[in-house]
Structure formats: structure tokens, C-alpha cells
Amino acid sequence: MQIVTLLASPHADGNTATVAGWVEQSLRKHGHDTTQILLAEKQIAPCRGCHACAEHADEPGCIIQDDASSVFDQMIAADAILFATPLYMWGYAGSLKMLVDRSLCLARGYTTADHRSFVEGKPAALLVTCAGPIEGNADAIQEVFPRVADYLKLVNKGVFVFPHCTTPDKLPNTHGNLVHDLSYCLAKC
């Protein structure tokens, strides 16, 4: 199984990258291939809301020429997708928010019987790291991801919040079970 990680951390060696690395290591240990895309290194412009993409039935068709197209190609080619973000203002980090907004071009016919997606049926999960607790902190992001998964017709394998992440060298060792659960659900559930 080929799994692509969309890493939204601006730090290639930060908390989210570390935890995503643990998940990827677990997946590789079980025979899966992983590819990590560091979104902070990509040029991804905001969605214009022009809906020009809807004019293309057989491809995403976004008219903005930037790195989002290659990221979408990798999402389409993957067997599963791991979205990974630090919690910023109760939501996605900017680079992932930009990509999620642009993913408008990956679906057609939303709210109709003809609703389809170029990533339809792929297992997907959201990994979130946050400095504080889950309750009263990471509640909103847990509500948003299932809606994104529904829009993209992904098979939502869950939102996995890793609380109390302050520095990569002091991540709680209690996260081992959550890493296992996330990698298992993404690849098997």
C-alpha cells in the first residue's frame, strides 16, 4: 500500500514531523510504502473560488499553476492519505488549510446523486499535535475533518490528536499506542 503524508508543519523536525515519522515508520515496518510531502516547501496559492475546475470532468482542472497540482497527483496516485498538522488557532496550519481549500477541484457534483471525487474511496486520517489538552483546544478540528473527508469521498479513518506536544525531544511516551492505532487504522481498518 502506498501512503502519502501531507505534512503541514513549518518545521521539518518539529512535533508534527516527529509524530508523523513514527506513524510512517510503523507503516513501513508492516510493509507499506510512505511518501512525505512537506507542504511548507511547496508554493500553494489560495483558492480563487472561480470553479473553473468544475469545467474539467476527467481531471482536477485547477487553473492556478503552482505546486498544488503535483500534490493532488500524488494524492490521486496514493492508496491512502495521512493529513498531519500542528493545531493552529483551533484548526489546520496554514499550508494544509490552503491545500484543503484548493481540494475543491478534486470533487464534482457535491450534494447531488452524481457526487464523485478523484480520491474517492481512499482511506484517510488526520494527525494533529497540540501543546495543550484535547478538550477545549482541539475540538473544532475534529469536527471539520470528517466534513472534508465526506466532501472528498475519502474513507475517514479518524482524527488522532496527540496532546501535550511541546518539543520533539519531550514528546510524551504515552503516544505509542496512539501511533499504533493510527497506523493500523490507516492501513487496515
Q: Which amino acid is at 105?
A: C
How many residues does the structure list for the chain? 189
d(CA 189, CA 79): 13
Cβ(125)–Cβ(92) below 8 Å:
no
pLDDT tens per residue, range 19-61: 999 899 999 999 999 999 999 999 999 999 999 998 888 999 8
The DSSP bridge pattern shows strands 80-86 and 123-129 to be parallel
Task: At 3, list the grid cell.
Answer: 501512503
Beta bridge partners of 107: 117
With a CB cutoff of 8 Å and minimum separation 6, the contacts of 180 are: 26
pLDDT at 187: 77
Indicate the DSSP class of residue 153: T
What is the arrangement of strands in the sheet containing 155-162, beginning at the earlier edge strand? Answer: 33-38, 2-7, 80-86, 123-129, 155-162
Q: What b/e string do you get for 21-42 counting C-beta neighbours within 10 Å, with b at 16 or more?
A: bbbbebbeeeebebebbbbbeb
d(CA 82, CA 1): 13
Mean pLDDT of 79-85: 97
Beta bridge partners of 82: 5, 125
pLDDT tens per residue, range 147-186: 999 999 999 999 999 888 887 777 665 556 777 778 777 7
Domain chopping of the chain, boundaries: 2-187
The CATH number corresponding to 2-187 among 3.40.462.10, 3.50.50.60, 3.40.47.10, 3.40.50.360 equals 3.40.50.360
